[in-house]
């Protein structure tokens, strides 16, 4: 089977990132691929630091980032958000960037074989390279299906292996598993912001859950291969084993759901496995700005709001609690930096006035959210913000959202104690410095519960030590092995799997995982706006007089265009430049 791939050869010179504590992402050097470089431990360590900076973007605006990955049923962009590709590109970073990183990994792996470094050091650096090679191949397989497996650096475009066909995606994913297991065995301990065995285990938990469920639910008609139950069970068991090791490693949930998303320092957070560190005035991000500033937000959808359970543990269809989704018009108060209503000099609440001296009003969802899953009021601000009724947090610019629902989970009052600091660090692009969670216990608990349910081996004890810990934090009753049926479950899975999927959606909303969850569950058609109109609807604004927002059935909509599902969207199209470079040995994905 072919095991190589050619990508933009540049002789022996390869750009790399020299980092200080893995924070400085400015390229400073080019290394020359000679023995002296690979025999110098400081240089090899800096080389692996570049892998960290390039692959773990945290809150940066990159591929699969939180908030910005909004092609889902959870968010709706202000402008029409169509499929990632609607035509075949000549080139794309979705293809080239992972292969660039794989090439970087293979340079290290090829040269560790002859390096004079101590064996323990060579094993550690090789483990880092294999971990990141696994990660990048996982990205490629998710997007493209079959891809060429490369286990060493190809030095010539004339290499006879360059022009061959893509390798079967199952073969590639088996190689990914081998890389993950090597990394787990050899990478060693580290802190929460760098390489460690726990990082490798958490990554394995994620990847094996994806592979197990993808192979269980795929179809020959849509994915080129039908279900493979033996393969699914193998990978689901691998997920369970990796997850159990993390669950037994001393991590625990924080009491406050939002804490891991809006903290300035995650180094001591008991829920965090691995995070990206940001530093004030040195390395910043834009997520807080985009979810607090004047740029219209990629708002939360009605479909997402309706997914949250009520405090009686029942869904929208069967709850006996108040189902209303209509907001209430309330006075618009000035909110101080402490998050409380500001006071005037004589102790009265500080009500904001409009240009005519009249009391300003804002639409509040506080009563609506009060009877639902506690996570909802953290993820979504209780005040709606839309054209004509903007809303500002503390000293920040007035916000609006494409759906009326603004995202609150990333906002913090910790970035500054004055109005100027708040404006600078919460409302300017690239100035935010809250740390970004990448792998965390709640995600592993959900992986474990889902894998056990998909295997058909879940016990009540399994639920109690995983997903039910999240239910308790959300103020919900614990899940049982036989939950009541939800009429909305029309996808042919058990009520237990349905509820675990719901828990995952609500816990990880806007975390950048939802699109690929729909792919692996074979539910990509849920992104068809004609079949599922609630995925482009937002807040109920039917009682807003002279509403400036487009409405559909009384609900805010950001655009009138529609998105239509086609089975070809299960795979991205192979860029034409790659097909040409391979001499047509690389074929196009079906439907493209």
Q: What is the pTM of this model?
A: 0.93
Mean pLDDT of the chain: 91
Q: Which of 456, 454, 502 is nearest to 216 (CA)?
A: 454
Q: What is the pLDDT of residue 62?
A: 60
pLDDT in tens, 90-132: 999 999 999 999 999 999 999 999 999 999 999 999 999 999 9
Are 318 and 309 a contacting pair, CB within 8 Å? no
Q: Which of 508, 263, 276 is nearest to 379 (CA)?
A: 508
- Token digits of residue 505: 């959606």
Query: Who contacts 444 (Cβ-Cβ below 8 Å, separation ≥6)?
Result: 202, 205, 243, 246, 247, 273
Are 303 and 537 a contacting pair, CB within 8 Å? yes
- Token digits of residue 415: 């970035």
Q: Which of 125, 145, 122 is nearest to 133 (CA)?
A: 125
Q: Which of 129, 103, 234 is nearest to 182 (CA)?
A: 129
Side-chain-facing half-sphere of 438: CA atoms under 13 Å? 23
- Token digits of residue 477: 């009753």
Q: What is the pLDDT of residue 162?
A: 59
If one compares 113 and 418, the residue with the highest pLDDT of the two is: 113
Are 33 and 14 a contacting pair, CB within 8 Å? yes
Average pLDDT over residues 535-559: 96
User: What DSSP assignment string belongs to 185-208?
Assistant: HHS----TTS--HHHHHHHHHHHH
Query: How far apart, in whole angstroms, are the C-alpha atoms of residue 25 and residue 450?
Result: 37
pLDDT in tens, 229-248: 999 999 999 999 999 999 99
Q: What is the pLDDT of residue 164?
A: 77
pLDDT in tens, 421-437: 988 999 899 999 999 99
Q: Does residue 3 carry a pLDDT above 70?
A: no
In sequence order, what are the beta bridge partners of 349? 343
Q: What is the pLDDT of residue 260?
A: 97
Q: Does residue 158 carry a pLDDT above 80?
A: no
Are 272 and 249 a contacting pair, CB within 8 Å? no
Tell me whether strands 436-440 and 551-552 are parallel, antiparallel or unpaired.
unpaired
Q: What is the pLDDT of residue 30?
A: 55
Of 142-151, 161-170, 340-349, minimum mean pLDDT range: 340-349
**Are 1-188+566-592 and 193-273+436-527 equal in CATH topology?**
yes
Q: What is the pLDDT of residue 155?
A: 79
> Sorting pLDDT into bands at 50, 70 and 90, what band is 355?
confident
Query: How far apart, in whole angstroms, are the C-alpha atoms of residue 461 and residue 453?
Result: 12
Q: Does residue 557 carry a pLDDT above 70?
A: yes
> Sorting pLDDT into bands at 50, 70 and 90, what band is 7?
very low
Are 166 and 131 a contacting pair, CB within 8 Å? no
Q: What is the pLDDT of residue 582?
A: 85
Question: Nearest-5° angle of CA 299, CA 531, CA 492?
Answer: 105
Q: What is the pLDDT of residue 56?
A: 92
Residues 210/211/212/214 CA torsion (nearest 10 deg): 80
Question: Nearest-5° angle of CA 576, CA 580, CA 586?
Answer: 80
- Token digits of residue 489: 């479950």
Query: How far apart, in whole angstroms, are the C-alpha atoms of residue 436 and residue 336?
Result: 25
pLDDT in tens, 497-510: 999 999 999 999 99
If one compares 419 and 362, the residue with the highest pLDDT of the two is: 362
Query: How far apart, in whole angstroms, are the C-alpha atoms of residue 433 and residue 278?
Result: 5
Q: What is the pLDDT of residue 64?
A: 65
Average pLDDT over residues 157-186: 88
Q: How far apart are the first and last CA of the chain?
A: 25
Are 447 and 209 a contacting pair, CB within 8 Å? yes
> Sorting pLDDT into bands at 50, 70 and 90, what band is 25?
very low
What does the DSSP 8-state code read for residue 524?
Answer: G
Q: What is the pLDDT of residue 63?
A: 57
Average pLDDT over residues 280-309: 95
- Token digits of residue 210: 């994806």
Q: Does residue 32 carry a pLDDT above 90?
A: no
If one compares 559 and 350, the residue with the highest pLDDT of the two is: 559
Q: What is the pLDDT of residue 20?
A: 29
Of 24-33, 249-258, 375-384, 519-528, minimum mean pLDDT range: 24-33
Average pLDDT over residues 211-235: 98
pLDDT in tens, 180-206: 999 999 999 999 999 999 999 999 999
Q: Does residue 27 carry a pLDDT above 90?
A: no
Residues 195/197/199/202 CA torsion (nearest 10 deg): 170
Strand, coil or helix: 145: coil
Are 152 and 109 a contacting pair, CB within 8 Å? yes
Cβ atoms within 10 Å, residue 158: 9
Q: Does residue 336 carry a pLDDT above 80?
A: no
Q: What is the pLDDT of residue 13?
A: 28
Q: Which of 37, 75, 81, 46 is nearest to 509 (CA)?
A: 75
C-alpha of 434 from chain center: 17
CATH 1.25.40.900 fits 193-273+436-527, yes or no: yes
Query: How far apart, in whole angstroms, are the C-alpha atoms of residue 24 and residue 277?
Result: 11
Per 3-state DSSP, the chain is made up of helix, strand and coil in percentages (nearest 5) of 40, 10, 50
Q: Does residue 38 carry a pLDDT above 60?
A: yes
Average pLDDT over residues 58-85: 89
Share of the chain above pLDDT 90, in %: 81
Using the structure block, give the residue that is written with the tokens 């479950």.
Answer: 489
| CA–CA distances in Å: residue 418 to residues 290, 424, 429, 431, 484 | 20, 10, 18, 15, 50
Q: Does residue 389 carry a pLDDT above 90?
A: yes
Domain boundaries, the chain: 1-188+566-592, 193-273+436-527, 286-432
Query: How far apart, in whole angstroms, are the C-alpha atoms of residue 51 and residue 47?
Result: 7
CATH 1.10.1040.10 fits 1-188+566-592, yes or no: no
Query: How far apart, in whole angstroms, are the C-alpha atoms of residue 534 and residue 521?
Result: 20
Cβ atoms within 10 Å, residue 126: 22
Are 136 and 98 a contacting pair, CB within 8 Å? yes
């Amino acid at each position: 089977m072919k095991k190589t791939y050619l990508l933009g050869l540049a002789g022996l010179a390869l750009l790399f990132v020299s980092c200080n504590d893995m924070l400085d992402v400015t390229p400073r050097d080019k290394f020359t691929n000679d023995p002296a470089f690979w025999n110098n431990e400081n240089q090899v360590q800096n080389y692996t630091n570049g892998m960290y900076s390039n692959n773990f973007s945290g809150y940066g605006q990159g591929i699969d980032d939180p908030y910005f990955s909004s092609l889902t049923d959870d968010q709706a962009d202000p402008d029409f958000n169509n499929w990632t590709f609607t035509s075949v590109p000549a080139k794309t970073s979705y293809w080239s960037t992972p292969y660039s990183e794989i090439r970087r990994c293979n340079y290290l792996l090829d040269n560790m074989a002859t390096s004079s470094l101590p064996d323990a050091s060579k094993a550690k650096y090789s483990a880092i390279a294999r971990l990141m090679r696994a990660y990048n191949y996982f990205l490629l397989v998710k997007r493209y299906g079959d891809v060429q497996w490369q286990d060493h650096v190809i030095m010539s475009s004339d290499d006879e292996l360059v022009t061959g066909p893509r390798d079967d995606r199952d073969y590639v994913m088996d190689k990914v598993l081998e890389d993950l297991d090597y990394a787990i065995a050899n990478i060693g301990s580290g802190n929460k912001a760098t390489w460690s065995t726990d990082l490798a285990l958490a990554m394995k938990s994620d990847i094996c859950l994806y592979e197990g469920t993808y192979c269980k639910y795929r179809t020959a008609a849509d994915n080129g291969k039908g279900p493979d139950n033996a393969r699914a069970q193998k990978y689901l068991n691998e997920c369970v084993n990796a997850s159990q090791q993390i669950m037994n490693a001393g991590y625990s949930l924080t009491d406050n759901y939002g804490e891991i998303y809006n903290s300035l320092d995650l180094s001591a957070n008991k829920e965090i496995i691995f995070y990206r560190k940001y530093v004030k005035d040195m390395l910043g991000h834009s997520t807080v700005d985009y979810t607090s500033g004047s740029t219209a937000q990629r708002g939360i959808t009605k479909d997402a709001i309706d997914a949250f359970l009520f405090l009686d543990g029942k869904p929208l269809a069967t709850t006996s609690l108040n189902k209303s989704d209509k907001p209430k018009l309330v006075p618009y108060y000035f909110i101080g930096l402490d998050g409380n209503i500001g006071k005037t000099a004589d102790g009265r609440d500080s009500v904001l006035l409009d240009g005519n001296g009249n009391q300003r009003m804002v639409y509040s969802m506080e009563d609506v959210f009060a009877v639902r899953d506690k996570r909802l009021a953290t993820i979504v601000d209780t005040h709606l913000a839309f054209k004509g009724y903007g809303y500002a947090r503390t000293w920040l610019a007035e916000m609006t959202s494409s759906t009326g629902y603004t995202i609150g989970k990333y906002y913090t009052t910790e970035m500054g104690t004055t109005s100027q600091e708040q404006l600078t660090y919460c409302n300017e692009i690239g100035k935010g410095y809250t740390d970004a969670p990448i792998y965390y216990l709640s995600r592993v608990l959900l992986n474990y519960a889902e894998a056990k349910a998909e295997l058909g081996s879940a016990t009540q004890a399994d639920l109690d030590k995983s997903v039910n810990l999240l239910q308790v934090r959300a103020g919900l009753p614990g899940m049982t092995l036989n939950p009541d049926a939800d009429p909305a479950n029309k996808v042919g899975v058990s009520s237990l799997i349905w509820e675990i999927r719901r828990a995952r959606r609500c816990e990880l909303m806007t975390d950048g995982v939802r699109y690929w969850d729909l792919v692996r569950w074979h539910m990509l058609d849920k992104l068809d706006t004609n079949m599922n109109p609630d995925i482009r609807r937002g807040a109920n604004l039917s009682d807003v007089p002279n509403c400036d927002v487009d409405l559909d059935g009384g609900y805010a909509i950001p655009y009138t265009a529609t998105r239509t599902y086609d089975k070809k969207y299960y795979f991205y199209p192979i860029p034409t430049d790659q097909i040409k470079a391979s001499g047509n040995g690389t074929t196009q994905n079906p439907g493209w």
